[in-house]
Structure 1
Amino acid sequence: ETGGSNVQFAINPEDGRMVVIEMNPRVSRSSALASKATGFPIAKVAAKLAVGYTLDELENEITGGATPASFEPTIDYIVTKIPRFAFEKFPTSSKRLTTQMKSVGEAMAIGRTFKESLHKALRSLEVGLDGFDELPLEEHPDLDPETLLKRELREAGPERILYVAEAFRRGLEFDEVQRLSRIDPWFLDQVLEIIELEAEVRAGGIDALDGPTLHRLKRHGFADARLGRILGTAEKIIRHLRQTLDIRRVYKRVDTCAAEFATTTAYLYGTWEKDCEAKPSDRRKILVLGGGPNRIGQGIEFDYCCVHAAMAMRELGFETIMVNCNPETVSTDYDTSDRLYFEPLTLEDVLAIIEIEQPEGVIVQFGGQTPLKLARDLEAAGVPIIGTSPDCIDLAEDRERFHDLLNRLGLKQPPNRTARTLEEAVVLAREVGFPLVVRPSYVLGGRAMDIVHSVDELKRYMREAVSVSNDSPVLLDRFLDHAIEVDVDAVCDGERVVIGGIMEHIEQAGVHSGDSSCSLPPFSLSQRVIDEIAEQTRKMALGLSVVGLMNVQFAVRGEDIFVLEVNPRASRTVPFVSKATGVPLAKIAACCMVAESLEKQGITEDLEARFYSIKEPAFPFIKFPGVDPILGPEMRSTGEVMGVGQSFGGAVARGQQGVGIQAAANGRAFLSVRDADKEHLLPVARDLKARGFSLVATEGTWKFLVENGVECDYINKVTQGRPHIVDLIKNREIDYIVNTTEGRQAITDSFSIRREALQRKVNYSTTIAGARATLKALEHWHERDVASLAELHKR
């Protein structure tokens, strides 16, 4: 047999006994990590072995063929991987880590010592850490600090390593920490040494930071920002001191052979030694900032854009430089760009790379929110940012400035206000009117976003979900119920705008765009509305002086079009639109940034879809017991599939099959909808009856259907006693569910229905629009018209 394999061992720390837990004769998640950690491309080599090569026949590409692939990789550095979790998206789920995988991404770091590597990995996570930051244990509502600390040491959780550091900081004995955590003493000792170094710095003050001391701290991985926080001073003060003392990082190469042979591959990591192996060239260079670890709201869609940007720049003759710290991505393959820096995406780390490489331009708009957060500081440091300027990006994010722009352009927004205190929010909410969409400013993935229906719900949100202030205001928008949401991706060169795709969401407004299925082309909008949306997009792109990609979200109610938000950057739908149209939008946008106009590229007409494409999200709810699978304004999907077909229904069917939905062609359907949806339910109920479904409903919906001539059985709600609807689901007597709710109490009351449906794999829709799409899909469920994308684009 040939190929990759993965073996998992367990070692008894008491006596060293080793046992095999499992063996997988295939590549695994850890294969990607091992490939990035060593530079040895496991999957690539495995594929060549599968077609008949032997290891000694294959060259090691990293060493330029100086060694064969049979030469096992040897490393002279330490690699640390830390998983990234998204428990903030699932607040009702237990945070305890078990044998069920719960992480949604990971960061990897390379350093010459374990402490350096660990520090770099912590700040690569992008969860607001500069290192082993202090934990505010006193703020816990229920537990005193000591009880909380011991619980978190004893029970594995996402922040356990920070609690280990906090335990040492608060004086817990080493043996006690080891007894509670059962973590190997070697690792604990490394963390303890870091905390002892922090105490030294704190005691000595900034005056004690001489050259040798600061160099030692940097070798142990301390970031300027972390040292600044410990000393109560700004990051830029520490950076200035370090530069004055001429303490600068050097770059070493990942070479698979611990420097035994020379390497021609520029796969680099930063450290604090004497010899620098970067050897920058004098070619024209463009640097692309990646997206960091995958998380809900920012995943591989942005990596796709970064990779395409690197490809475009390379084709135009530029040397491409990629900076990223995510081992799961294509952008961190050593051959995707000319030079790869596997480094955290922080201001300190990025500025150090720019200082040594001196690129002609830096691209920040393809990596999601991660590089955008650095844009202002990079610009202030004199870094040449190409594409849409940071000021224009800020204009689109700043509520007041953007509102003024829309007024100048004559475009409509839902009524909205910006609140900086709880009291102000209550007054403004009454002006705008309920229901309201509430969210903090500057977020991606709908983080901490909610729909509130009353002053009490608004107060609870302001208390629990956000810390509101002048620096971080809360945005209040009137929620447009029963509106159709529309996503538009466009590319602009500063003078001409080309519409890449207009996507109609299947779920109505109120469901986060990343969680909503969407169709390209639109399936229900009139041509007048589509033309008007395209025209409004052009006005905004030129008004914002966009150079590159832009995404706009609209809400359409009747013939009225409202602008919800504009993002002058790559969006998560760019890969979907590119595959649906056959035109690489990210590549085209990257070329626009280096003065290759759309006309020069031969792209002057809006793109047209020749078939229906459906983006269908995939959710991780089954991994999180206790989480309600209802959809809302906070994004929770972790992936997506694309379904294609010559009809809307056919594409929806392929999409639903792609995410594993098992739709019953007939059987028994349960219906329970909020009052606002009852009129819209009638055609759905009649269609289900026509397809051979028998119907069952709870009191309000049952009464409405019977009064309107639709035959339906009655079933109790859970609160009304047995037999109730959850009993029917458990007994596998229900084949399809349509359940829409609104308001905190109604959502809580119907939670058990959705959760049981999830556990029993019963197909369910939590919106009327989703139910309509499912019925369309049932018409085409068994069609088997298979064609490649290349063939479809030629038709």
Structure 2
Amino acid sequence: MSLEYDCLFISNGPGDPSLAKTLIQNVCKVLESDHPQPVFGICMGNQITALAAGAQPYKLPMGNRGQNQPVVNVMMGQAFVTSQNHGYGIDSKSLPPNPFYFSSFNHPYGIMHSTKPVFTAQFHPEAKGGPTDTEFLFDAFISLIRKGKEGSIASVMPKKPVVPQRIQVSEVLVLGSGGLSIGQVGEFDYSGSQAVKAMKEENLKTVLINPNIASVQTNEVGTKQADPVYFLPITPEFVTKVIRVERPNGVELFQSGVLQKYRVQVLGTPVESIMATEDRQLFSDKLMEINEKIAPSIAVKTVADALKAADKIGYPVMLRSAYALGSGLCANREKLEDTALAMSCQIMVEKYLLGWKEVEYEVVRDVADNCVTVCNMENPYSQTLSNEEYHMLRETAIKVVRHLGIVGECNIQYALHPSSLEYCIFEVDARLSRIALGIPLPDIKNTVSEQTTACFEPSLDYIVTKIPRWDLDSFHGMSREIGSAMKSVGEVMAVGRTFEESIQKALHSGVTVDQIHDLTAIDKWFLHKLKHITEMEQLLGQYNSVTVPRDLLLKAKMDGFSDQQVGQALDISEGEARTVTLNQNIRPWVKQIDTLAAEYPASTNYLYCTYHGQHDLDFKDHGIMIVGYGPYHIGDIRALRQMGKRTVVVNHNPETVSTDFDECDRLYFEELTLECILDITQQEGCTGCIVSVGGQIPNNLAMPLHLKGVKILGTSPVQIDRAEERSVFSSILDDLGVGQAPWRALSSLEDAVSFASTVGYPCLLRPSYVLSCSAMNVVYGQEEMKRFLEEATQVSQDHPVVITKFIRGAREVEVDAVARMGKVLAHAITEHVEDAGVHSGDTTLILPTQTISQGALEKVKTATQKIAKAFEISGPFNTQFLVKGNDVMVIECNLRASRSFSFVSKTIGVDFIDVATRVMLGEPLDESCLPSLENPIIPVDYVGIKAPMFPWPRLREADPVLCCKKTSTGEVACFGPNIYSAFLKAMLSTGFKLPQNGILTGIQHSFRLNFLSTAHQLHEEGFKLYATEGTSAWLNANDVPTISVAWPSQESKNTTLPSISRLISEGHTDLVVNLPNNNTKFLKDNFQIRRMAVDYGVPLITNFQVNATSLFHYRQREPRLSESSAGSRHN
């Protein structure tokens, strides 16, 4: 071999490198020469160079093949994700013992000569295909050639970044996300829980401020829980008080001056970076600095400027607001003007990129500038991106994250043109992880696989589909159209081996793929997949249960067809379809979610079922199954594990901590259906199943599972069924002599009208087995009776609808309890602030009760014990009562844990779920410390208030008024020495702002006398009062000076009175009190006033009892928020 050359590049090749003997000998001559020219080897070139230097190869057991192989450059101290394809490695211990050769990358994934221009890489820096992280090696090689003899490897390689020392902290303050709402739902509760857990694993004292009483974050006991928990509003004032008391070293929020004053460090992403991602103009400027593309946009601060910007950009446009969630699509000037009013003070008007793909990347960066993209998602699912598109957007994501200075995890969102490489960035959301403590990614263990570090990019051999859940029927007047503004109240997640199995949402129209693509711009890949599903359904329909071929049935199950769908196609029942499938020996396999695509051995308990492949594990351990999707009943899992029981959890809500892989022994990400639960419990051989801690859906499965031979732990499914069937339940109450409102099981409309004429309107229609009181309505007349009865019959076709007399002016109380074999062991009684008629999930709860007489409370306890005994309850249950004077009437009883279990547990200091779990398992209990009916635990020096969170700002068409259907999306709770203090903090935690200047009132006749004392007080405290004409005349006549305003419908006719629209939009009023009734002739006007208040961000009160709880007494009762307001629970 001639040594006359300018450089030597040794490329890749297949197979065993030791077989290339001639090449090894020639490279050996090069290495032995005194002045070799630059040498660079990649892939097999690394192996050849190492062998020429005297090292030994070995065969890898599985090979390194993929685009996501992590390596660490030991010179730079940085990690990179690389593309690799080799079956042999180099034994680093066999490198010559002289000082000339050393591993430039870990493993070694590269070697380097200390004095000669020789270096190699065991991967593909050219990235065809794959990530471009190490393209700089080619630049270094070229620079080395150009420098000639003066060049050295150290001079051409990137310099080692300056890495800050790990932050030395002992105490961290974590700010939770508060109550859940649309746009800020369970995923933030989940991420907060992960943050607390990560800090605790680093042995740091963790202080949490979070008023979300239902959150697992706010549990007070456990190795994964915060040390002190403060149930306080997450506002600068209250956070400052906690900082003053706790003096933490680190905090994940910045507020001007406070952190510097108390010497508190900001962990992770710098405050300036957070501001740059939240402020639309700053964000745009930052991206322009690195020549990155954003949609044509203009930042504005007024509606008038927004209109001008939209005219310049051209409709349609997208509005995005600073420091807020979500956006709004505007097709014309009218829509823009309407939408802009509801947004924050800064708005970005952007060109709407109609037909472009929406793509998201999740990126993690540490203090050492290591970056990995954890995953990417396409809206819908990331299946149609080419290798070039994927890595182009990945490279851009890393560049943007580095430029912004983010330390931790963030989400970057793109719009990608469907037929070119043009893209725009429209959002970056920065979040936090333990990287904020200064720990590099390669030093963090991947707790899912336990085989790799956190510095890797997952390989997935499955497809995950996340689908939103809507509940628009609960919101009167809501449009079913979806757009850029979020309306969903939750989400579910499915895992499968193919797209069809993962999504299973069929198109039933007869239009072609091309037609749908032209109308929607949805990629044809998805449309063809959906078309395949419809074709499979049609093919199944050509057979019956006897003639259907096994191969076709198996293919249908592999495409995600449920037993119910198979039954519909074959014209048989779901149960018959399951029998046919099992008789054909078609059963699902259980696969692990390991994030490694089986490239490395991994042992995880994160599981899903599929009809593709084989089992990834055995089923020797027979655990207890817990069915549920609620984020708030993880205590059941933890209690079982404390008792040494193995737990098998089935859940499909990705937002909940109970779907965290390390909370249980086995976690199945599967839908909560009879088919899935039977498949899993039969495969696992579960010794029992708990359905009473996950809400109504699991509870409704109790009887079907029982009939299939599944052992239900706790209260008998037969008793659960009796309690859910309203007519049966009411009959049992009559037999027990327990009071209830007059009722009747309906058989016809005539029967309903006859009952109503006897007892008088209003009446309440109540179907059985429904969620969140679906189709439950208060009826005020015969026309409503016909309409609502038809709706109730549709949702409860197999069970009679019950009608009851609606009791006006009654108080409502709830009893949360646990019983064993019919004996009540633990209980807590809460009182609703609102009168009866509001769904219990939408009410404000008080503990202890404030207005209920002792005689009425004794009647409540007596009725509770009778019900527990009659239904032989063993486990959790919740009973709701009406109280009017000394009359006590039962509304309903749910034989499961209610949404208020967390509140009562944390208020009185007894974990009701733990007690219930031990009861259901037959474990012994120390009953002497439990709040029995005879010896209740009643707080005496503090009051707890639980308040609901509503999604009204997100649901632009909905009427923000409460009824018997649930509309809240979350809840908060706060504590204080008295009801005024606790109530004020709870209201502030929901986002309520206290009025400072003007108050607009509209009070119907039935509420006026009770409101008069409040009106006098408001006037005395200096508020400027405005009122609708009738209310104004009445208040003025009662010596309360008030300015009369015109109803919205009369503003154009009556120009002498102030305009409500202008008062609200121009900020003259900062509170609206609108107390209507159902018979008012101003229904539309009242609706418009309520909507204007919500749309302009003005606090709104629509319930007299909330007003009557002395919210307005805060100036008198709470002249200042005392230091004790920062108490961890009850102060």
Match of 1:31 in 2: none
CA contact (8 A) 2:767 2:796 kept: no
Q: Secondary structure at the match of 1:758?
A: helix
CA contact (8 A) 1:323 1:345 kept: yes
Distance 2:888 2:515 in 1: 62
Matched, 1:657 2:996: no
Matched, 1:176 2:515: yes
Which protein shows a greater Rg?
2
CA contact (8 A) 2:727 2:802 kept: no
Match of 2:528 in 1: 189
Matched, 1:68 2:453: yes
Distance 2:641 2:625 in 1: 11
CA contact (8 A) 1:628 1:754 kept: yes
Q: CA deviation at 1:532?
A: 2.9
Match of 2:130 in 1: none
Which structure 2 residues correspond to residues 700-779 of structure 1 after superposition, within 5 A?
Answer: 700-720=1030-1050, 721-722=1053-1054, 723=1057, 724-743=1059-1078, 745-773=1081-1109, 774-778=1111-1115, 779=1117
Which structure 2 residues correspond to residues 219-238 of structure 1 after superposition, within 5 A?
Answer: 219-238=558-577
Match of 1:384 in 2: 711
Give the structure with the higher percent helix.
1
Structure 1 residues 417, 490: CA separation in 2 closer, same or farther (over 3 Å shift)?
A: same
CA contact (8 A) 2:770 2:795 kept: no
Q: Secondary structure at the match of 1:187?
A: helix
Cα deviation, 1:500-528, whole Å, max 9, x if unaligned, reads 32111111111111111111111222233
Matched, 1:645 2:1050: no
Matched, 1:575 2:902: yes
Structure 1 residues 545, 463: CA separation in 2 closer, same or farther (over 3 Å shift)?
A: closer
Distance 2:786 2:828 in 1: 39
Q: Secondary structure at the match of 2:758?
A: helix
Distance 1:495 1:208 in 2: 51
Corresponding letter in the other structure for 2:950: F
Match of 1:297 in 2: none
Q: CA deviation at 1:234?
A: 0.8
Match of 1:37 in 2: none
Corresponding letter in the other structure for 1:589: A
CA contact (8 A) 2:942 2:976 kept: yes
CA contact (8 A) 1:87 1:93 kept: yes
Matched, 1:613 2:944: yes
Structure 1 residues 732, 566: CA separation in 2 closer, same or farther (over 3 Å shift)?
A: same
Cα deviation, 1:748-786, whole Å, max 9, x if unaligned, reads 331111111112333332121111122244533741445
Structure 1 residues 790, 591: CA separation in 2 closer, same or farther (over 3 Å shift)?
A: farther
Distance 1:204 1:453 in 2: 51
Cα deviation, 1:217-243, whole Å, max 9, x if unaligned, reads 111111111010112111111211111
Matched, 1:435 2:762: yes
CA contact (8 A) 1:689 1:695 kept: yes
Matched, 1:624 2:960: no
Corresponding letter in the other structure for 2:440: T
Q: CA deviation at 1:554?
A: 1.1
How many residues are paired up? 714
Q: CA deviation at 1:464?
A: 5.7
CA contact (8 A) 1:496 1:598 kept: no
Distance 2:823 2:1040 in 1: 54
Match of 1:3 in 2: 408
Cα deviation, 1:504-559, whole Å, max 9, x if unaligned, reads 11111111111111111112222332333233222222222111111111111122
Match of 1:210 in 2: 549
Q: 1:17 aligns with which of 395, 416, 422?
A: 422
Distance 1:497 1:321 in 2: 28
Match of 1:459 in 2: 786
Q: CA deviation at 1:454?
A: 1.5
CA contact (8 A) 2:814 2:830 kept: yes
Moved more, 579-588 or 597-606: 597-606
Q: 1:278 aligns with which of 617, 624, 636?
A: 617
Structure 1 residues 600, 659: CA separation in 2 closer, same or farther (over 3 Å shift)?
A: closer
Corresponding letter in the other structure for 1:423: E
Match of 1:57 in 2: 443
Cα deviation, 1:249-289, whole Å, max 9, x if unaligned, reads 11011112111222222211101135212312335x21100
Using structure 2 for the length normalisation, give the TM-score: 0.61
Structure 1 residues 82, 676: CA separation in 2 closer, same or farther (over 3 Å shift)?
A: same
Q: 1:557 aligns with which of 881, 884, 896?
A: 884
Matched, 1:99 2:484: yes
Match of 1:494 in 2: 821
Distance 2:854 2:927 in 1: 30
Corresponding letter in the other structure for 1:24: D
Corresponding letter in the other structure for 2:971: E
Distance 1:5 1:390 in 2: 46
CA RMSD, 1 decimal: 2.2
Q: CA deviation at 1:475?
A: 2.6
Match of 1:200 in 2: 539
Corresponding letter in the other structure for 2:1076: T
Matched, 1:678 2:1008: yes
Structure 1 residues 93, 185: CA separation in 2 closer, same or farther (over 3 Å shift)?
A: same
Which structure 2 residues correspond to residues 301-700 of structure 1 after superposition, within 5 A?
Answer: 302-305=630-633, 307-463=634-790, 467=794, 471-599=798-926, 602-603=929-930, 605-609=935-939, 610-665=941-996, 667-700=997-1030
Distance 1:166 1:669 in 2: 53
Distance 1:364 1:648 in 2: 36
Q: Secondary structure at the match of 1:279?
A: coil
Match of 2:97 in 1: none
Match of 2:497 in 1: 112
Structure 1 residues 538, 469: CA separation in 2 closer, same or farther (over 3 Å shift)?
A: closer
Where structure 2 has 5 or more consecutive residues not aligned to the other structure, the ranges are 1-366, 368-406
Q: CA deviation at 1:248?
A: 1.0
Using structure 1 for the length normalisation, give the TM-score: 0.86
CA contact (8 A) 1:422 1:468 kept: no
Higher relative contact order, chain-length normalized (CA < 8 Å, sep 6+)? 1
Distance 1:111 1:497 in 2: 44
Distance 2:647 2:1112 in 1: 48
Cα deviation, 1:280-305, whole Å, max 9, x if unaligned, reads 2335x2110012xxxxxxxxxx3322
Structure 1 residues 526, 690: CA separation in 2 closer, same or farther (over 3 Å shift)?
A: farther
CA contact (8 A) 2:775 2:791 kept: no
CA contact (8 A) 1:718 1:725 kept: yes
Distance 1:690 1:452 in 2: 40
Structure 1 residues 99, 645: CA separation in 2 closer, same or farther (over 3 Å shift)?
A: same
Q: CA deviation at 1:642?
A: 0.9
Percent of residue pairs identical:
36
Distance 2:985 2:589 in 1: 51
Corresponding letter in the other structure for 1:639: G
Distance 1:751 1:376 in 2: 43
Distance 2:620 2:936 in 1: 39
Where structure 1 has 5 or more consecutive residues not aligned to the other structure, the ranges are 28-45, 120-130, 133-164, 292-301
Match of 1:140 in 2: none
Match of 2:68 in 1: none
Corresponding letter in the other structure for 1:26: R
Q: CA deviation at 1:379?
A: 0.2
Distance 1:414 1:781 in 2: 44
Structure 1 stretches of at least 4 aligned residues deviating more than 6 Å after TM superposition: none
CA contact (8 A) 2:999 2:1026 kept: yes
Distance 1:686 1:675 in 2: 17
